[in-house]
Amino acid sequence: MLHLNYYLDLELKSYNNEIKVLESKIERLKEGINNEDDQYLNNKLCELDEVKRAKELKKMELYY
């Protein structure tokens, strides 16, 4: 059981780090959007946000 908790803790830390990286990318991308017509940047922002939400959901699943 101790090994399982250790690996779950490592996985949670990994998700936390990945979420922080995604948040940073999202912020940088938001700063780069000066024109709402820039569809590529808006699409990329949506993709990153979806990935971030998926990681957060996966992290929550590990808690339960």
Q: Write out pLDDT tens, residues 6-63.
A: 888 888 889 899 999 999 988 888 877 666 567 888 888 889 989 999 988 888 888 7
| Other Cβ atoms closer than 10 A to 18 | 16
CB 16 within 8 A of CB 59: yes
Helix (H, G, I), strand (E, B) or coil at 35: coil
**Segment 30-44, tens digit of pLDDT:** 877 666 567 888 888
For the entire predicted model, the pTM comes to: 0.62
Alpha-carbon gap, residue 56 to 46, rounded angstroms: 15
Closest by CA to 62, choosing from 22, 17, 4, is: 4
| Domain boundaries along the sequence of the chain | 2-63
Number of Cβ within a 10 Å radius of residue 48: 19
